[in-house]
Each structure stands twice: as structure tokens, then as C-alpha cells.
Structure 1
Amino acid sequence: MATQHTPESAQVLLLAAADHNLHVLPNLLRQHTPNVADPETLRTPLHNAIASLEKVEPQPPSAEKLKDAETTIRLLLENGAIWNTLDKEHETPGCIAYRLGYEHLYEMMVDAGVRCEMILNAIGGWEQIDSDAEEEGEAEGTVVVENDGEADDIPGLVSIDSSIGSIKNSDKMDEDGVIVDAPEADSEKNATKEKKSHPEDIAAEISNPDSTLSASEVLEYNATTETPSYLSSTLTFTPHSLLDSNRNAVMMDWESSVMDLTASLLLPEENTTNRTVLNVGFGMGIVDKAFEKGKPTRHIIAEAHPDVLKKLREDGWYDMPHVTILEGKWQDTLPIFMLENPDVTLGAIYFDTFGESYDQLKQFFSEYVVGLLDPEVGRFGFFHGLGADRRICYDVYTKVVEFDLLECGLDTNWVEVDLPELKTEKWEDVKRKYFNLDTYRLPICTFGA
């Protein structure tokens, strides 16, 4: 049964976290969920514990204060504090730690995110949940943390659940202000550059940090780039991009430097024994053209979109004797390919699809890469856009995917690539950015010794 408490006592929790008051906090956390937020700033106790270290005086915080802050953060996390809740400035607690330069606190938040996502992985939380109208806040890749209603009757506070990206108005909110669910950083594990799409007003609102969209609107918006929607959309090839019918960027030419390096690392010159290549997701053909520079003996391309297949034919890929085109979804074509070619092994495999979730990437490397990759010289890579909207999400999902790959017997070497500044004009023809960082982590995976 939830413990009843007053707005004043919950405010004490927010203040105690900011003060790192370790005498008061344990008792408060026995009575309150840590997932409440100030209605003005939307900062949770976890935000406050880190933000209070901001250097407002010439002297930095003492070592004792930093130790108390670390203990406070650990205590809040142990009691169920959500790692990726956004405040009004669109920052997670980890974002604040990174901005203030507290690397060890930032790493604590990254580790908390990794633990959360690995638990979701273990319980199947990354699968799309079929929800009725009353459960629309439970978006893909989420798990709802029960708050036992503890904040439901507290005027002037914000109650947070853990539905990733869900933003909904509470049916108990009154004119005095109260109970709304706070948004969280987008933790969609989008290995496949799943850029969202929706009518213009919805798309613009979703990109707005102060968005007030309902959960159902967010879910409808997210659904428009799922594979069935994407495959039925009309694509537009421009000199610099490939766009779907809603102007979501399927691929852009700024990726060329990344793809050129990827191809050279996956199929290096020293690999003279197996120069067979598989690429899943042709798009603009950037990585396939880069692979061709390495003169593969056989080049297999899996592509599902009819417009891209048409372009492949127009550009002569079907006429190349060493090229095999697998037409259709890779989930359908690769099993047939493996049955028809039981002895084939591949020197290089690359994966870069659109409109698919992390589950599909994980299925691909756990079921197909392990069966097709040459155990001696084979290398596997993929476009790493997991959580690329903000640094902490990118850092979390870098570790998550590395753990999952290791579980399949694959070691991962990350090559950091400094990107030329992605200026605004690079994105002016598309709905929204799908990569928002200065550095790209390029994965090269091989079977461990």
C-alpha cells in the first residue's frame, strides 16, 4: 500500500537530494518514489543531486561533497530512480554531469542506463507491446516502473513513469498544477536509422523539447517508419540523400566518409582468402560502391524496397556477374540463401536497414552473422546510430550492443570517426536529424580467439 505524504514532504526529498543529505534521504526514500519532479524545472531528485554541483563560486566542490553526491546518486538509483528522464532544459541527469565535467558521475549514469537496458533485454522489453487504448503510453522498448500511486495525490508535483518517450496529460491534473508525466530521453535502440515521420505539425512538435503530445500521437508517429510503412512508401533520390514519402532521410551523403572507412576495414587488402561480401540494405549504395573498390569475388546485396531495386537495375548492378541481388526482406531471403548455399562463408557482412528496431539487428547478428561469417578472417559491421540523438544514449547503447555481440562470440573493436560538422543546411531537406553527435563509433566485429 502506498504511503500517503504531503507536497511539502516530497519537496523535502528534492531538497535533500540537492543537499546530498544522507541522514534524511534513506528514510524519505522508504516513503516516497524517487521519480517525482519539480513542476517548474521538471528536475527529479537525481537531476538535483548532480545539478547542485554546478560551480557558482570560484572554488570547486570539495572531495567530501563529491563523495556525498556519488553516494546520493547511488542511493537514488538503488531505489528506482529513472536514468533518462528529461528536465525542462531537455537534459537527463547524465547530460548535466557531462556538461559540468564530472566524468565519474556521468559514467555512473551510463552504467545505470546499461543495467536498465540489459534488464529490458533479458525480459524481452524491446519487443513492441500490443496495447489497447488505456495502455498507449507503453512505447516500444520500454518497461513501466510502478510508482504505486505515491505521487498521485500530491498537488504541485510531477509524477514520472518509465514509458520511454511517452508524454501524456494526467487525468488528475487540476488548475493548481499538477500531476503530469515527464518525458524521457529517446532510448529507441535504433540501429537502423529509424527516423520518424508524421504530418508536418506532429513532426515539428515531437522535435520540440517542450512537446505536449499525447502518448497515442507519439506512437502513431513512430509507427510510420516501421518496415511495412516504409516498404509501401514512395522514395525520392536526390543528389545528396534518399528520402521517403514523408521526407525522412533513409540515407544521406554525409555518411560517405563513414562508409568508405567501414568497407576498407571490413574487407582489408590483407584478407586474400575470402573476399565475399554481404550487405543488407542498399539505400543509396554508398557502402556497396565502397566495397566494389576492394574487388570482392562475390557481392551479395539484400534489399527490400521496390524503388531501390528499380534503381539497382537502372544503375547496372543486376548486370555485374559477381553481384547477387536478394529481393525482399532479409528475414525472408536470407534463410533461403543459406539453404541454397550451405557451404558459403562470408569475408565481410554489413547491416544498415531502415524502419527496423534493435531487435532486428540483434536477430541478424545472433542468427545469421554467426552462421555466415568466416570464422578465420570474417568481419561484421553495422551502421551504429543507436541513441545518436544525445551522447549519453549513444554511450549506453554502445555498451549494450557490445555485450550482446560478445554473448554471440563476437568481439567488437570501435573506431572513432570525427565527423565534419553537420551544419543545419545538411538537414534542411529532411524532417529531422538522425545523428546529432560530433563523433561516430564504427564497429568492427570478429569471432573471439
Structure 2
Amino acid sequence: MVEKLFLRGAGWNLLNANDETPACVLQRRGLTRTKLWDAMVDAGVRAEILLRKLNDPNIEFLDSDGLESEPESEPEAEDDVEIEVEEVKVDDSQEPELENTAQPNSNLIEEDPSSMPEVYLKTKLEYKDGALVTDRGDGVMMDWENGLMAAGCDSLFKGSNPSKTVLNIGFGMGIIDTMIQERSPANHYICEAHPDVLAKLKQDGWYSKPGVHILEGRWQDTLPELLSKNVFFDGIYYDTYSEHYEDMLELFDLVVGLLTEDGVFSFFNGLGADRLVVYEVYRKLVEIDLANYGLELTYTEINAPTGTLEEKDETDETVWNGIKRAYWRCPVYYHPEARFK
């Protein structure tokens, strides 16, 4: 029944009154890791791939006979067309909801640094209580990620070359970079764009550490120059804030040019991690996309810290106390490692 519903256009990510997708209902009922759950995830993957194809400007649409559609005939003259306009009454007692209608200079909607890189880079950051937060309380990076960063560091030092040259994109709190330094790499590149984080790097003496190279600016601007200089990496790690999967697809173009033959690419895998079914969909999408670049992706499952799963974020047990929005709600972390096939 579920398969037939999806084939007839049912939405895998539709929400009910409790902000639940169909898969969220399965999760609440303990029905993950079942055929029903797999059907939900597969439907999400199909929908995302189809949407991407539909947005491809190079796609050609065919008519029902499999032939390119003929140009539409010229419309009738305006005087020969009758247009019936139905009067629509507007209820002034209720303010209409805004959806993607804010102009760039509008003051009606607060610009969100978590989804707009240009806003994030102008947002004031503060290091406090084992976290890096924005001035409005968004969590950029937190101490609970230590175990996940350790897994990322281990991945960067795999491979046959004993003298490692590694790259970390996004310094944040410097968790993984501190771990990298303990391994004494031959060269340690750090790419960071936020001025407050760059000030922290200078304050803590990172600019003068042996073998450390600081790339000031967004990776979109700094990494192509390394590519032109034939700089290659045994390990590349990616963990930025406010960027999206579309940015990662652009990064993959550079990774395949910067990575050594037996190098490892990894990243903080928080794609859709505030909802388990979305996290599972992205798990498959990344695997499909990296395969197109000749990279084979494997995952290691790590139990997420229990404090990230507390339903009430005001309690002492949760790591989200004082954080505006939880960016992690999944019981398992899929640690990624990508290598050339």
C-alpha cells in the first residue's frame, strides 16, 4: 500500500499536525529498520534526485508521444478572448503568512545566519561554556562533538604516506585541528572565513605553529588557488556553518583535484540531522553523488551523545540548554570516509 501511494504521488516529507512526516510516525512506533522505513527513505531519495533533474537547465521535456513538443500556436487576438475574473475577498482581520516574499532590504523578517553565509560572516560570534555561538544563540560548534571530531581526525591519517599533508575547512572551536596537531603532520592547512574565528586563531598562536598554513577566506575563493599550485592532500575534512548540500556538491569538484591517490575525504555529517528520516535520505544521496566523482563512500556508525536527544532543551541533561535551535536529533552518527575507487 505504501509503495502504491508513493507511485501515485504521496509526499514522503508531508507533515501532520504534530510536525511529523510518515517516517517520523514509524520512528515513534519503533518501526525503523523495517521495509516500511526503507520505503520512506527510498521515496525521499527518488524525490530529491528527480527535483534536481527538473531544476537542470539542460533537461529537455518530451510530449506524450516521445517527441519534442511543437511550439504553441499564437494566442488569439486580445479582443477575441473573454477573461472571467473572480473577485477575491481578503480578510483584513488576519495578517497573511509570508513565504519567500521578503525583499533583500526588508526589515520584516530577521535574516538567519544559519542559512545565509553572507549573513553569518557578518554575525558576531562568542566562545563560551564549551560552545561557539552567534549573538542570537545559534550553536555553531559545541563540545559534545569531540568524539565525532576524533573519528574525523583518525580518517585523515589513514593511507600509506607517513608524512601527512592535511586540510581542515572550518576551524570553529579548533577541536579537530588540535587533534591534528597532536599527530605532527608535515603540513596542516586550515581554511577559515569568519573574522571572529580568525581573531581567535591569531590570539591562540595558530599562525606561528610549525607546518600550519592559514587560508583566510571562504574555501570557494582559497582552494582553487591551491589547485593551480599543485598542492595535494592526504586528508581533507569539511565542517562549515550556514552552508548547504549544494555547496558540498561544488566542493566535490575541488576535492577530486586536491586529494592524493590514496587520500581520504571526510566531513561533519550533520546533513538533515534534526530529523532521522532526512538524515537517512542524505546518507544515500551523498553516496550516490560521490560515486559520480569516482569516490567510494563508507560509513561507520557511532552512537550520538545522549544529551543531544533530550526532548526538552531547558533541562540540565540536554546539551541544548541556552542554544536557540538543536541541530542534532539522531540516535546514530554516520561517520563518512570517501576514497578513490
**Is the shorter-chain TM-score for this pair beyond 0.5, marking a shared fold?**
yes
Question: 1:297, CA displacement in angstroms?
Answer: 0.5
Q: Report deviation, 1:105.
A: 1.0
- The alpha carbon displacement at 1:173 in A equals 10
2:299 pairs with 1:368: no
Total equivalences in the alignment: 290
- Which of 2, 13, 34 does residue 84 from structure 1 map onto? 13
| In 2, Cα distance between equivalents of 1:302 and 1:418 | 29
Secondary structure of the residue aligned to 1:437 is coil
CA drift of 1:172 comes to 8.6
What amino acid sits opposite 2:296 in the alignment? D
- Name the SS for the 1:356 alignment partner: coil
- Counterpart in the other structure of 1:155: none
Structure 1 pair 92–323 and aligned structure 2 pair: CA distance change class (3 A): same
2:82 aligns with none
Which of these residues, 270, 284, 289, is aligned with residue 173 of structure 2?
284
After TM superposition, the structure 1 stretch with the greater mean CA deviation from structure 2, 285-294 or 275-284, is 285-294
Contact 1:419 1:439 in 2 (8 A): yes
Deviations 1:223-263 (A, max 9, x none): 44311100011110113100112211110010011101210
SS at 1:247's partner residue?
A: coil
Report deviation, 1:290. 1.3
- Give 1:96 deviation, angstroms: 2.0
State how far apart, in whole Å, the 2-side matches of 1:289 and 1:124 are: 41
Contact persistence 1:274–1:346 (CA under 8 A): no
**One-letter amino acid matched to 1:215:** E
Partner of 2:23: 94
Q: Structure 2: how far apart are the matches of 1:92 and 1:415? A: 26
Could you tell me which runs of 5 or more consecutive residues in structure 2 were left unpaired when the two chains were aligned.
Answer: 57-87, 104-108
Return the alpha-carbon distance in structure 2 between the equivalents of residues 173 and 399 of structure 1: 45
Identity among equivalent pairs (%): 40
Amino acid at match of 1:359: E
Work out whether 1:328 is the aligned partner of 2:213: no
User: Which residue does the alignment assign to 1:151?
Assistant: none
Say which SS state the counterpart of residue 374 (structure 1) adopts: strand
Contact map agreement 1:349 1:381 (CA 8 A) in 2: yes
Aligned: 1:379 with 2:264:
yes
What corresponds to 2:99 in structure 1?
215
What letter corresponds to residue 254 of structure 2 in structure 1? Y
Q: Which residue number corresponds to residue 443 of structure 1? A: 336
Is contact 1:237-1:243 (8 Å) kept? yes
Q: Which residue of 2 aligns with 1:400?
A: 285
**Counterpart code for 1:406:** A
Matched residue SS, 2:260: coil
Kindly indicate whether structure 1 or structure 2 has the higher relative contact order, using CA contacts under 8 Å at least 6 residues apart: 2
SS state of the match for residue 322, structure 2?
Answer: coil
Is residue 5 of structure 2 the alignment partner of residue 120 of structure 1? no
Aligned with residue 108 of structure 1, among 35, 39, 56: 39
Paired AA for residue 112 in structure 1:
A
| Residue in 1 that maps onto 2:72 | none
Map 1:269-280 onto structure 2 (within 5 A): 271-280=160-169
Matching residue of 1:136: none
Alignment partner of 1:357 out of 236, 241, 244: 244
Name the CA distance, whole Å, in 2 between partners of 1:405 and 1:333. Answer: 22
Kept in 2, the 8 Å contact 1:264–1:294? The answer is no
Q: Give how far 1:101 is off.
A: 4.4
- Higher share of residues assigned strand: 2
Question: How far apart, CA to CA, are the structure 1 residues paired with 2:41 and 2:187?
Answer: 41
Point out the structure with the larger helix share: 1
Matched AA of 1:358: Y
- Does the aligned pair in 1 maintain the 2:192–2:214 contact within 8 Å? yes
RMSD: 2.2
Q: Secondary structure at the match of 1:215?
A: coil
- How far 1:426 moved relative to its partner? 1.3
Do the aligned partners of 2:155 and 2:266 also contact (CA within 8 Å) in 1? no
Matches within 5 A, 1:38-437: 72-102=1-31, 103-124=34-55, 214-216=98-100, 220=109, 223-225=112-114, 226-268=116-158, 271-339=160-228, 341-342=229-230, 344-365=231-252, 367-375=253-261, 377-422=262-307, 423=310, 424=313, 425-437=318-330
Counterpart amino acid of residue 285 in structure 1: G
| 1:345 Cα deviation after fit | 1.6
How far apart, in 2, do the equivalents of 1:109 and 1:398 lie? 14
- Greater shift, 330-339 or 435-444, is seen at 330-339
> Aligned partner of 2:288: which letter?
F
Whether the 8 Å contact between 1:275 and 1:296 is mirrored in structure 2 is yes
Q: Which runs of 5+ in 1 are unaligned?
A: 1-71, 126-170, 175-211
CA 1:99–1:239 in 2, change beyond 3 Å: closer, same or farther?
Answer: closer
Q: Deviation at 1:352?
A: 0.6
1:430 and 1:100 map into 2 onto residues whose CA distance is 28
For normalisation by structure 2, the TM-score amounts to: 0.80
